[in-house]
Amino acid sequence: MINFSKNLITRLATYAIDNPASFLKRTAALNFSVGSVGLIIGMIINKNIPEKEKRFMIIQEATEGVLDLGVFLGCATAFEKIGRWLVKTKKLVPHIDNFSKEQVKDAITKFFANPNKPGISMLAESKIRTWVKAAEVGAGLIGTIIAFNVITPLIRNYIASKLEKNIGKKMDKTQTYSPILPATKLNQPISFNKNDPFASFNSAMTTGKLPQRAYLPVFTSTGMRV
């Protein structure tokens, strides 16, 4: 178990050094996926949520999770390419000791022409390679921020509104309601006793019959009258 953990950590560390932008993107995606799955599991085992609402919430979270993950990976990858493109087009130029700006640009051209064997000094190659990785990481982080804070909330709100319209209507149709009072018969007189101003209302509640006229008691400074 210890040897397996050491090998795994070594591989992860090597991958992070060689491909820092890709490593950050993949670990963030893994963290995002685990969080979404955890929410769904929490909904499933939560007995306090009604079954109809639970089904709606699980469908919503699963749909949003898949789409959000796709948007995140798409934005991060796209911005990584933008960072690499900025270096390739010499819009982001590193500083190399004892190199003029024109010499650095010439070295960048040779590097991208043949990254495996660029035909430049080891110092220039190492500096440019590190600079490209840094540009990819920085641009990828910008893409991640945009995905999480701008695009993802818009998608979640859009999906929630669509699911509420479609699934919410079906849930409303299956919902049953019990009347508080039994069916009433109108225009049937009920005897009214002025000695008991609430008698007609008590009778309506127990028999389900509405009185033709209702006398509300009025409370005054000298007592109650109807």
Indicate if the pLDDT at residue 219 is higher than 50. no
Percent of the chain residues topping a pLDDT of 90: 21
Cα separation, 205 vs 6, whole angstroms = 76
Tens of pLDDT, residue by residue over 89-118, are: 999 999 988 899 999 999 999 999 988 887
**Do 144 and 188 sit in the same domain of this protein?**
no
**Do 33 and 131 sit in the same domain of this protein?**
yes
Tens of pLDDT, residue by residue over 180-204, are: 444 444 444 444 454 555 555 555 5
Cα separation, 109 vs 106, whole angstroms = 5
Query: Has this prediction a pTM greater than 0.85?
Result: no
Q: What is the mean pLDDT of residues 155-175?
A: 67
Structure confidence at residue 153 (pLDDT): 83
Last residue of a domain, one of 136, 156, 174: 174
**Do 115 and 138 sit in the same domain of this protein?**
yes
Q: Tell me phi and psi for residue 187, to 5 degrees.
A: 60, 30
**Do 128 and 219 sit in the same domain of this protein?**
no
**Do 51 and 69 sit in the same domain of this protein?**
yes
Cα separation, 147 vs 139, whole angstroms = 12
**Which residue segment(s) compose the domain that 104 sits in?**
2-174
**Do 80 and 28 sit in the same domain of this protein?**
yes
